[in-house]
């Protein structure tokens, strides 16, 4: 009799425990589904907005962020990112580096552009377009900036590093190498820029030359990455980031924010 009662109580306890675990799992699944649905909805809305205008007539004009070279004598380096054109803009950004030596009348913009590879050209483009030019209508965000004394030497190094980019003959939107792979490559070589690329910069974690370990793009930490598909990054500037299938999830405790795919940074911190 005692054994039967003990078995009964044990069975009830197991069923109760399993019921609680099942309820928690269901709640977690519902929350995850809501997050995914919300992000996909935002992506769809952003995609419609991005496709609302024709690429050939989309604005490439200055967004009024960069200093006017005509009235700015000092040397300047700026790093920008803007939502990509068309459906790609629903998920990621295009980034670039703009430089202006002391007394120069215009900025030089260093960036990697995919269509150039499709035409048998080097993906590396160096042009005099506006440093803060809209990327096919999308307003850029200033990611990093340095000015003044010593910056001319930094600009010389940027030029050398950019021209040594090892993937100038190939381009892949996902998981890289792409424009963000290039910007991260330059940033790692010039750590004083302290570049913290946004979580929407797909391709930033694709490490050149098949490497799986590197310093973080900001130069304030380290990262492990397998072909830009899976990895972990820890840095003072970036915080903690986990890369899953090229998508970044993370937290920035210094400038408090969550880092999420599609939507980018969420929180009171910069961004």
Over residues 199-254, the pLDDT tens digits come to 999 999 999 999 999 999 999 999 999 999 999 999 999 999 999 999 999 999 99
Give the residue-averaged pLDDT of 24-30.
Answer: 52
Residues linked to residue 235 through DSSP beta bridges, in sequence order: 221, 239
Q: Is the pLDDT of residue 33 over 60?
A: no
Contacts 24+ apart (CB under 8 A), 100-104: 100/67, 100/69, 100/72, 100/75, 100/76, 100/131, 100/155, 101/75, 101/152, 101/155, 102/73, 102/74, 102/75, 102/151, 102/152, 103/73, 104/69, 104/75
Residues 6+ apart with CB under 8 A from 196: 143, 144, 217, 218, 235, 237, 238
60-115 residue pLDDT tens: 899 999 999 999 999 999 999 999 977 777 789 999 999 999 999 999 999 999 99
pLDDT at residue number 207: 98
Helix (H, G, I), strand (E, B) or coil at 152: helix
pTM of the predicted model as reported, rounded to 2 decimal places: 0.80
């Amino acid at each position: 009799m005692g054994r039967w009662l003990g078995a009964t109580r044990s069975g009830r306890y197991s069923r109760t425990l399993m019921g609680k675990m099942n309820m928690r799992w269901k709640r977690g699944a519902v929350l995850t589904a809501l997050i995914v649905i919300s992000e996909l909805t935002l992506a769809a809305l952003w995609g419609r907005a991005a496709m609302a205008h024709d690429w050939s007539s989309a604005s490439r004009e200055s967004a009024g962020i960069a200093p006017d070279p005509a009235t700015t004598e000092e040397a300047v380096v700026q790093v920008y990112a803007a939502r990509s054109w068309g459906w790609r803009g629903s998920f990621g950004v295009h980034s670039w580096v703009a430089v202006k030596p002391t007394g120069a009348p215009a900025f030089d913009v260093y960036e990697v552009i995919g269509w150039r590879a499709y035409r048998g050209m080097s993906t590396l483009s160096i042009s005099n377009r506006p440093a803060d030019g809209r990327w096919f209508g999308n307003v850029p965000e200033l990611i990093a900036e340095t000015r003044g004394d010593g910056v001319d030497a930094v600009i010389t190094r940027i030029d050398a590093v950019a021209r040594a980019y090892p993937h100038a003959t190939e381009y892949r939107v996902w998981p890289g190498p792409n424009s963000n792979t290039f910007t991260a490559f330059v940033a790692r070589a010039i750590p004083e820029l302290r570049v913290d690329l946004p979580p929407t910069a797909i391709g930033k974690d694709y490490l050149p030359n098949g490497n799986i370990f590197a310093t973080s793009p900001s130069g304030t930490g380290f990262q492990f990455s397998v072909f830009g598909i899976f990895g972990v990054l820890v840095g003072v500037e970036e915080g903690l980031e986990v890369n899953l299938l090229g998508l970044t999830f993370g937290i920035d405790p210094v400038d408090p924010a969550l880092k999420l795919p599609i939507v980018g940074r969420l929180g009171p911190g910069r961004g």
